[in-house]
Amino acid sequence: MVNALETKSVTKIYKSDIGTIRAVDEVSLNVANGEFVALVGPSGSGKTTMLAILAALLRPNEGSVMIDGAELSQMSEAKRARFRREKIGFTFQANNLVPYLTALENVELMLRLNGKYDRAGRERARELLARLGLGERLKNLPRQLSGGQQQRVAIARALIHTPALVLADEPTASLDTERAHQVIQTFANLIHEQQRAGIMVTHDLRMTQYADRIIQMRDGKLRRVISDPAEIRAFATTGEAVTAN
C-alpha cells in the first residue's frame, strides 16, 4: 500500500515560565491510502497538537511531515495554505457548515475554493450526499438538518475535493450513540472506498471499532499501535488503560 502520510521524528516544543513542554515527542507515523486510523489518549497526550501539525496548521520544531509526496517544512506559508485547502479534508465536532447555504451548496463550496466547480464536480457532490443518505436533503439549510445529518454533510464536504488526507477531530462528540455509530461507520467506509488516508481523534473509544489501526498517545509519544482486528474490537469495548475525558 502507498503511504499518503509519513512523519519522521516530529517534535513540537512549547516554552513557558514553568519550563519546556514536549507536546509531541519524536512521533513517526505512516498512514496508507485507504486506511482509517483512530488516534486516542488522555487529555494532554498530544493528540490535538499532532492533528494540527498534520493539518499544516502548526510547524513542528523538529522532524518532517510528508503528505501525498510533498514535504510541508519546505513550503512557504502561502503554499502551505494552498496545499491545506487542496490536499487535506477536515471534519470536526463543530461541523462549521455555512448556515445560509444548503447542504449541497456547503459541499460545492469546497469545489469552488479548489477550482473544481464544474458539471462533473457538481454531480459528484450530489452522488456523495446521496451515498450518505441525504439525497432528499440537498436543498435543506443546516438548521433544517439533525446533528447526524449535519455531520454527514461535513463528511461529504471533507471528501468532495479528493484530498489525500482526511482529518476528523471528535466528530461524534455532539451526537447520540446510534447516530455516532452511523456517522463513523459511513466515514470509515468512504475512506476505504475512495482510497483516502483518514485519521480520527476521539475520546469515545467505542468508535475505534471502525478503525484499521488504533494508535495510543501519552505524554507526547506514541505508546502503542493496535492493528489486530480482535484486539481492536476488545479495545473498543474495554478501553484498556486509556483515560477518556
Mean pLDDT, rounded, of the chain: 90
What's the pLDDT at 244? 38
| 3-class state of residue 97 by DSSP | coil
Given a cut of 70, whether residue 95 has pLDDT beyond it is yes
pLDDT digits over 111-121, tens only?
A: 999 888 889 99
| 3-class state of residue 44 by DSSP | coil
Helix (H) or strand (E) holding 14: strand 3-16
In this prediction, residue 233 has a pLDDT band, given cuts at 50, 70 and 90, of very high
pTM over 0.85? The answer is: yes
* Residues 151 and 95 sit within 8 Å (Cβ to Cβ): yes
CA dihedral 95, 53, 89, 80 (to 10 degrees): 120
Per-residue cell: 121? 464536480
For domain 3-238, give the CATH superfamily. P-loop containing nucleotide triphosphate hydrolases (3.40.50.300)
Residues with Cβ within 8 Å of residue 81, at least 6 apart in sequence? 56
Average pLDDT of span 65-91: 92
